[in-house]
Amino acid sequence: MKTIALLILSTFFTFSFPKDKTPQPIHVEVSGKGEPILLIPGFTVPGEVWNPLVKKLENNYECHVVTLAGFGGKAPIEFPWLSKVNDALNNYIKQNELNNVTIIGHSLGGTIATWLASRENSLVSDIILVDALPAAGALMIPNFNPDDLAYDSPYNNQQLAISDEQFEQMATSMSQGMSLNKKAQERIKSWILAADRKTYVYGYTDYLKLDLRQDLKNITTPTTIIAATKPYGKEMVIKTYKEQYTNLENYNFILADNAAHFIMLDQPDWFLQTIKTVLLAQ
């Protein structure tokens, strides 16, 4: 009787507490019908940032909305982070036979879209890059050399060690520079605070190390770049993008006036119409 009781108890716990699955680099939600569109958000940002756009597109397109590991409440993965994300997205496109897929990517998501389009035997048909650069580190770091960036660095160690209060102060400051809209700033701040801290720190190192400027030569797909004019002004923005994308032979360049980094939050109506226009022109 005791043996039977133990067996029943063992069975109960086996079914009540299943082993956790291995965390995945990407999480994708699919809606709509039609030609496939893959939507990749920026650093720390969950896929929900695309919700207004998806609502406008899903009647005519099959929308695949991505959230990256470590962000939006998703479990973190082992490092290196960004290369695993890129491989997972490439595999997702192939396994789901998303032939002639259009990728819309914001910030880091746009950089990833560029990476995917530059890969050999890419299935990507078009890319729309929203305030995204192929080598953000080269813009931000004097005498940029990817090999100089490492996970174990004084800056990264400091970022990992700061208190939650200090991290929130930093998130507040960062969010204020990414949008002109106060409500949007609060959303951006909440996304930063929700990010897994290690993914935030080491993942950003992955991002800054990535330099795709030479890989741009491999891209033959139609490319649209949408760039915010705030806070640096049109002249500086045009100069920066021209320099960063000098190896990309052809692209359509659109300036978003009166918008900071989160163009879709600062100029939502304009953004929705612009994306629809670009898609119809393809």
Ordered by where they begin, the domains of the chain are 25-281 (3.40.50.1820)
- For residue 9, the model assigns a pLDDT of 33
For residues 201-222, average pLDDT? 98
Mean pLDDT of the chain: 93
How far is CA 112 from its chain centroid?
7
Q: Which structure tokens are listed for 219?
A: 């891209």
**Is the pLDDT reported for residue 257 higher than 60?**
yes
Q: What band does 21 get if pLDDT is binned at 50, 70 and 90?
A: confident
- For residue 238, the model assigns a pLDDT of 98
- For residue 282, the model assigns a pLDDT of 80
The percent of residues in the chain predicted with pLDDT above 90, rounded, is 92
Report how far residue 154's alpha carbon sits from residue 156's, in angstroms, rounded to the nearest whole number: 6
- 144 C-beta neighbours (distance < 10 Å), count: 16
Contacts of 226 (CB under 8 A, 6+ apart): 128, 129, 130, 131, 254, 255, 256, 263, 271, 274
Q: In what order do the strands lie in the sheet with 223-228?
A: 26-31, 61-68, 35-40, 101-106, 124-130, 223-228, 252-256
- For residue 112, the model assigns a pLDDT of 98
**Is the pLDDT reported for residue 57 higher than 90?**
yes
For residues 147-151, average pLDDT? 95
b/e burial code for range 74-100 (CB count within 10 A of at least 16 → b): bebbeeebbebbbebbbebbeeeebee
For residues 102-122, average pLDDT? 97
For residues 255-278, average pLDDT? 98
Residues 247-256: tens digit of each pLDDT: 999 999 999 9
**Is the pLDDT reported for residue 5 higher than 80?**
no
For residues 207-228, average pLDDT? 98
Report how far residue 124's alpha carbon sits from residue 51's, in angstroms, rounded to the nearest whole number: 22
